């Protein structure tokens, strides 16, 4: 507890000015994080998903694990100028799998579902508030898309629409900034709660 | 030297100091400002409430200690809410720093409410691979996570005998600090397997996720500490998020004041220069 509290105060000391205590905490964090990730990757990923199945007699389709393991080792050939071309096989598979997974997922979740969600009834006398929200949304989508349409000069009607698009973007940037402030203040609150509760025991959260 | 000149050259450490004081004081002397539950948080609560009692729910805790002040309160509340409904929880983490945090919450609240590890909840731990893990997890839980976080083979955990893919899961709860997180889960799991999904995210990430809420891809959304506090209020468990909201509000008022002051100085000096 005392170590955590001291390291928190060391980091806070940077607000006054850069100093050796801050540097110490910063370097310690980087070192511990790197070590932690190596251990996690080995025991949570490599061991159960590669080494253990290969070691265990009777594992079904054990050749798949060997292929994966060899491709994994090929990545390390990048350290040799002569053999680095071998790493391209593994990289090609990684890129291919990620590109395939991302493209199909993105097409469904970001294109189809989002376009569908924008096709809303603009006028519903029974739900006037919904109608207003739907109009605001539809106008915002169209105007913002026009702002990003650069094949026509932004003059006249197109210019006015694009300008409205900028206003929509500004509102979204403002909302994003407000949320960012809330996030950063939350981190400060979290540290203060730790110092006051866990360390000093003055207040219970 | 005018007041504007003095303020423009003010040492920024005074601003930091005042911010520290304004955050510290409400923590020591709570103002107990009212908290109104917003639509997205209410929908999150309702989505969990609508899960039939005893169902299996997946929680993906995709965060690390850096975002714990925002995300731990909502993780606590979600786990407590689900356990009260006797739901069985399968947890996993796609951020290396996540497993000990989620494990701590599951064991602490599990012990408090008399839940048994392996039967009522499991923590599968961390796996690298982002979207690929999500895809693989959707096909087979046990194939993607042969062992749980503590190294026990999942074949020895009774809960994992009842389910091996999203078919038997009633809700996906994602607590997200960035990438991989809610965006990726929506793309890879919600869209593909049509699993009902709710998200609790850092405030920074929230604006990106609102379109998913509007489209119905997310059934509910908790944004940052405010979202966590609203969920705590809905579940009648006032935790650290609720207790931090006074400080949050006082800091926001201070920042609004600084923005206004900065603009007043800027425009007054521009006017003076002609």
- Render A35-51 in DSSP notation, one character per residue: HHHHHHIIIIIIIIIII
Q: Is the pLDDT of residue B273 over 80?
A: no
Confidence label for B8 from pLDDT (cuts 50, 70 and 90): confident
Q: Which two tokens stand for residue A13?
A: 């000391």
Q: Is the pLDDT of residue B177 over 70?
A: yes
pLDDT of residue A148: 94
> Using one digit for the tens of pLDDT, what is the confidence trace for B84-110?
999 999 999 999 999 999 999 999 999
> Using one digit for the tens of pLDDT, what is the confidence trace for B149-166?
999 999 999 999 999 999
**Among candidate residues B247, B207, B132, the one with its CA nearest the CA of residue A105:** B132
> Using one digit for the tens of pLDDT, what is the confidence trace for B61-81?
999 999 999 999 999 999 999
Query: Are A182 and B226 an interchain contact pair (Cβ–Cβ within 8 Å)?
Result: yes
pLDDT of residue B268: 85
- Strand locations in B137-244 (E): 169-176, 197-201, 220-223
> Using one digit for the tens of pLDDT, what is the confidence trace for A79-93?
999 999 999 999 999
Q: Which two tokens stand for residue A47?
A: 């061991």
Mean pLDDT, residues B156-179 taken together = 95
Mean pLDDT, residues A153-157 taken together = 92
Q: With pLDDT > 70 as the criterion, what percentage of chain B qualifies?
A: 99
- What residues in B contact A188, CB-CB < 8 Å? 19-20, 23, 251
Q: Is the pLDDT of residue B114 over 70?
A: yes
Query: Are A105 and B24 an interchain contact pair (Cβ–Cβ within 8 Å)?
Result: no
**Among candidate residues B219, B178, B171, B176, the one with its CA nearest the CA of residue B40:** B219
Q: Which two tokens stand for residue B200?
A: 């609790």
Mean pLDDT, residues B187-192 taken together = 92
* C-alpha dist (Å) from residue B190 to A102, A174, B171, B187: 14, 29, 10, 6
What CA–CA distance (Å, rounded) separates B259 from B251?
12
Q: A133 vs chain B: nearest CA distance in angstroms?
A: 11
What CA–CA distance (Å, rounded) separates B101 from B149?
12
Confidence label for B253 from pLDDT (cuts 50, 70 and 90): very high
Residue corresponding to tokens 């909840």: B121
- What residues in B contact A53, CB-CB < 8 Å? 146
Cβ atoms B121, B88 nearer than 8 A: yes
Say what the alpha-carbon torsion angle B131, B132, B134, B137 is, to the nearest 10 degrees.
Answer: 180
Q: What is the DSSP letter of A151?
A: S
Which residue does chain A place closest to B98, by CA atoms? A40
pLDDT of residue B274: 62
* C-alpha dist (Å) from residue A151 to A79, A148, A154, B31: 46, 9, 9, 55
Q: Which two tokens stand for residue A51?
A: 């080494």
In chain A, where are the structural domains located? 128-205
Residues facing A29 on adjacent strands: none
Q: B121 vs chain A: nearest CA distance in angstroms?
A: 19
pLDDT of residue A60: 87
pLDDT of residue B160: 95
- What residues in B contact A68, CB-CB < 8 Å? none
Task: Tell me which residue in A113, A180, A203 faces B203 most closely, judged by beta carbons.
Answer: A180
Which residue does chain A place closest to B99, by CA atoms? A40
Q: Is the pLDDT of residue A160 over 90?
A: yes
Q: Which two tokens stand for residue B247?
A: 């400080």
Mean pLDDT, residues A130-153 taken together = 94
Query: Are B252 and A53 an interchain contact pair (Cβ–Cβ within 8 Å)?
Result: no
Q: Is the pLDDT of residue A58 over 90?
A: no
Interface test with A, best of B41, B152, B203 (most A CBs within 10 A): B203
Q: How many Cβ pairs within 8 Å bridge chains A and B?
A: 148
Q: Give the up-direction half-sphere exposure of residue B189: CA atoms within 13 A in the CB hemisphere.
A: 35
Which residue does chain B place closest to A116, by CA atoms? B215
Q: Give the up-direction half-sphere exposure of residue A64: CA atoms within 13 A in the CB hemisphere.
A: 6
Q: Tell me, which fold does domain B39-238 have in CATH?
A: Rossmann fold (3.40.50)
Confidence label for B9 from pLDDT (cuts 50, 70 and 90): confident
B272 versus B107: the higher-pLDDT residue is: B107
Q: B263 vs chain A: nearest CA distance in angstroms?
A: 15
Mean pLDDT, residues B56-64 taken together = 96
A85 versus B7: the higher-pLDDT residue is: A85
Task: Tell me which residue in A43, A110, A182 faces B187 most closely, judged by beta carbons.
Answer: A110
Confidence label for B1 from pLDDT (cuts 50, 70 and 90): confident
In chain B, where are the structural domains located? 3-30+247-273, 39-238
Q: With pLDDT > 90 as the criterion, what percentage of chain A qualifies?
A: 89
Q: Which two tokens stand for residue A141?
A: 């989508």
């Amino acid at each position: 507890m005392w170590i955590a509290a001291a390291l928190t105060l060391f980091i806070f000391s940077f607000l006054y000015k850069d100093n050796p205590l801050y540097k110490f905490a910063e370097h310690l964090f980087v070192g511990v994080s790197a070590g932690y990730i190596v251990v996690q990757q080995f025991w949570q990923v490599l061991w159960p998903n590669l080494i253990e199945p290969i070691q265990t007699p009777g594992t079904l389709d054990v050749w798949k694990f060997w292929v994966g393991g060899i491709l994994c080792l090929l990545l390390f050939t990048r350290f040799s100028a002569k053999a680095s071309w071998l790493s391209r096989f593994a990289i090609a598979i990684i890129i291919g799998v990620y590109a395939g997974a991302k493209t199909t997922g993105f097409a469904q979740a970001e294109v189809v579902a989002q376009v569908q969600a924008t096709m809303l009834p603009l006028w519903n006398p029974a739900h006037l508030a919904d109608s207003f929200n739907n109009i605001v949304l539809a106008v915002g989508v169209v105007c913002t898309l026009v702002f990003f349409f650069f094949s026509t000069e932004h003059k006249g009607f197109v210019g006015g629409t694009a300008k409205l698009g900028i206003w929509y973007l500004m509102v979204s940037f403002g909302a994003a900034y407000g949320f960012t402030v809330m996030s950063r203040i939350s981190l400060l609150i979290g540290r203060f709660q730790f110092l006051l509760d866990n360390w000093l025991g003055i207040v219970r959260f | 030297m005018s007041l504007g000149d003095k303020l423009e050259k003010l040492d920024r450490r005074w601003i930091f100091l005042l911010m520290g004081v304004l955050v510290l004081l409400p923590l020591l002397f709570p103002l107990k400002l009212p908290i109104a539950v917003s639509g997205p948080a209410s929908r999150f609560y309702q989505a969990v409430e609508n899960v039939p009692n005893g169902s299996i729910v997946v929680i993906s805790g995709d965060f690390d200690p850096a975002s714990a002040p925002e995300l731990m309160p909502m993780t606590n509340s979600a786990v407590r809410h689900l356990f009260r409904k006797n739901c069985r929880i399968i947890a996993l983490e796609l951020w290396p720093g996540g497993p000990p945090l989620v494990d701590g919450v599951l064991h602490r609240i599990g012990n408090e409410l008399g839940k048994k590890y392996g039967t009522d909840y499991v923590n599968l731990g961390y796996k690298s691979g982002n979207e690929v893990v999500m895809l693989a997890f959707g096909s087979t839980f046990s194939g993607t996570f042969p062992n749980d976080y503590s190294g026990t083979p999942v074949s020895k955990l009774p809960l994992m005998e009842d389910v091996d893919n999203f078919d038997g899961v009633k809700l996906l709860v994602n607590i997200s600090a960035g990438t991989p997180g809610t965006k990726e889960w929506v793309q890879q799991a919600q869209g593909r397997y049509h699993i009902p999904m709710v998200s609790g995210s850092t405030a920074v990430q929230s604006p990106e996720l609102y379109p998913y809420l509007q489209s119905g891809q997310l059934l509910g959304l908790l944004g940052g500490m405010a979202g966590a506090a609203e969920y705590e209020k809905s579940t009648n468990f006032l935790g650290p998020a609720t207790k931090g909201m006074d400080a949050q509000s006082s800091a926001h008022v201070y920042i609004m004041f600084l923005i206004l002051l900065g603009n007043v100085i800027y425009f007054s000096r521009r006017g003076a220069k002609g």
